[in-house]
C-alpha cells in the first residue's frame, strides 16, 4: 500500500464507501482503483485527484495534502544522476537493487539521514 492509497482508504472508511462504490462514482474500474492504492499503477492524473477530492468533499488543505501524498507514492521512482560523479550513480543503483531487502530499522535510519541532510541544507526533505 502506498501513502496515497492509505489516505484514500481512510477517506473511504470515513465516508463508509467501498472501493467498488468509489470507482463507479469516479468512472474508473475497481481494479484500477485497487492497483492505484497498492502502488501497482503510476501516479493518478491531476483530473482524477480533483475528482477524488470532490468525491470526498474535502477542504483545500486536505486536498493539497492528498495531492502531495500522490506525488510521494509513485512506485516507479527515477533518480537522475546525469552529470554527477560515478559514485552517485553507483549508490543509486545499489539502493534500487537492495531496497526490497531493507528492514524497517534500516529504512528508518536512511530516512533520518535524509531528513538531517535536508535540515542542514535548509531544505524540506
In sequence order, what are the residues at sequence separation of 6 or more whose Cβ sits closer than 8 angstroms to the Cβ of residue 69? Answer: 2, 3, 4, 7
How remote is the C-alpha of 110 from its chain's centroid? 18
Please give the Cα distance from 29 to 84 (Å, whole number). 42
Per-residue pLDDT, averaged over 6-26, amounts to: 94
- pLDDT grade, residue 118 (50/70/90)? confident
Please report the pLDDT score of residue 85 as a whole number: 95
Q: Using a pLDDT cut of 70, give the percent of the chain over it.
A: 96
pLDDT beyond 70 at 124: no
Using an 8 Å Cβ cutoff, are 62 and 8 in contact? no
Using an 8 Å Cβ cutoff, are 3 and 72 in contact? yes
The 10s digit of each residue's pLDDT in 54-113 is 999 998 899 999 999 998 887 778 899 999 999 999 999 999 999 999 999 999 999 999
Please give the Cα distance from 58 to 55 (Å, whole number). 8
Give the predicted TM-score (pTM) of the model: 0.68
Q: Using a pLDDT cut of 90, give the percent of the chain over it.
A: 67
Please report the pLDDT score of residue 73 as a whole number: 84
Secondary element (H or E) of residue 20: helix 19-26
Using an 8 Å Cβ cutoff, are 49 and 70 in contact? yes
- Domains of the chain, earliest start first: 3-71 (1.10.260.40), 86-121 (no CATH)
Amino acid at each position: 500500500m502506498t501513502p496515497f492509497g492509505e489516505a484514500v482508504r481512510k477517506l473511504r472508511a470515513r465516508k463508509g464507501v467501498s472501493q467498488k462504490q468509489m470507482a463507479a462514482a469516479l468512472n474508473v474500474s475497481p481494479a484500477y482503483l485497487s492497483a492505484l492504492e497498492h502502488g501497482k499503477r503510476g501516479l493518478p492524473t491531476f483530473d482524477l485527484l480533483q475528482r477524488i477530492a470532490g468525491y470526498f468533499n474535502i477542504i483545500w488543505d486536505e486536498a493539497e495534502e492528498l495531492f502531495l501524498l500522490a506525488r510521494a507514492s509513485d512506485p516507479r521512482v527515477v533518480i537522475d544522476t546525469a552529470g554527477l560523479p560515478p559514485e552517485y550513480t553507483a549508490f543509486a543503483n545499489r539502493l534500487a537493487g537492495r531496497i526490497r531487502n531493507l528492514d524497517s530499522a534500516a529504512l528508518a535510519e536512511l530516512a533520518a539521514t535524509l531528513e538531517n541532510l535536508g535540515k542542514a541544507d535548509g531544505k524540506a526533505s
